[in-house]
Structure 1
Amino acid sequence: MSDAFPVPVPGHVPVLRLGDVLLVTLQGDLHDSTAQQLQQDLAETISRTGVRGVLLDISGVEIVDSFLGRVLAEIAAQAGLLAARTVVAGMRPAVAITLVELGLTLPGLRTALSTEAAMELLTQHTPQSRSGGTRQESP
């Protein structure tokens, strides 16, 4: 089952649900208010739907700065607290180099070269059951 949340609105980043994964495609610059809204939308959607993963596709991002790096890390931290894993896909070499030069390690984030590889990471080793709203991850 696939449904869009929220309806694409200028200044908002669309979030698509693909089964147990939320797909977020970042294009160009992410402004403060848009980043804050995205974080809120993701946290609410994870909580409401119980999805187990967030896939951040940044293949459309050509330049990264410390702000975007912080936003990515915060999304991963929030998702992790809500029992969802985060994978960043499509990172360009220049973006990776810049993140390293900025000293941003992005804790809590896994990376994949493509959205397909990211989906595989998010769907493998997924726990089969939830009880009482909590999830036990296997080591």
Structure 2
Amino acid sequence: MERIPILRMGEFLLVTIQVEMHDQLALTLQDDLSERIDATAARGVLIDISALEMVDSFIGRMIANISAMSRIMDAETVVVGMQPAVAITLVELGLDLPGVNTALDVERGMRLLRQRVKRR
């Protein structure tokens, strides 16, 4: 079964999506990520979607669900690297992704993640 790697970086988990997402892969990522947050007591999750050129409403909702699930498990989530076409598609689909923090790149995303975890 195809899986997206989840790397641990101290108190954070880093997810870099390098393949086009399909529904089953998104569901597997959600399950894998919840298990890793629990197993590592991660305080934050950074999801790099810079390789995604397109998203549909299901993938958009899965990003929002992953963020909500992470918050419930006491981990902040930041999504980085969103392509302009992806942002436009999400807006056109009417998805506002409540609770999803975003940054332009990994460096800014890590800085934002550290700030959000520190404020707790």
Q: TM-score, normalization: structure 1?
A: 0.81
CA offset digits 1:15-66 (Å, max 9, x no partner): 0011111111112322222212111111111111111111010000001110
1:101 alignment counterpart: 92
Mapped partners of 2:116, 2:2: distance in 1: 35
Corresponding residue number in structure 2 for 1:44: 35
Cα shift at 1:126? 2.4
**Are the counterparts in 2 of residues 28 and 62 from structure 1 also a CA contact under 8 Å?**
no
Is the counterpart of residue 68 in structure 1 residue 71 in structure 2? no
Q: Which has the higher contact order (CA 8 A, sep 6+)?
A: 2
Root mean square deviation, CA, Å: 1.4
Structure with the larger strand share: 1
* Aligned equivalents of 1:127, 1:121: Cα separation in 2: 10
Alignment of 1:78-89 (within 5 A): 78-89=69-80
Give % identity.
Answer: 54
1:1-139 to structure 2, matched below 5 A, reads 11-127=2-118, 137=120
Q: Are the aligned partners of 2:21 and 2:52 in contact in 1 as well (CA < 8 Å)? A: no
**TM-score scaled by structure 2?**
0.93
**Amino acid aligned to 1:48:** A
1:116-139, CA deviations, whole angstroms, 9 ceiling, x for partnerless residues? 1000011124249xxxxxxxx3xx
Gapped runs of 5+ residues in structure 2? none
Runs (5+) with no aligned partner, structure 1: 1-9, 129-136
Deviations 1:81-115 (A, max 9, x none): 00001100000111111111000011111000000
Higher mean C-alpha displacement, 90-99 vs 22-31: 22-31
Q: How many residues align?
A: 120
Structure (1/2) with the larger helix percentage = 2
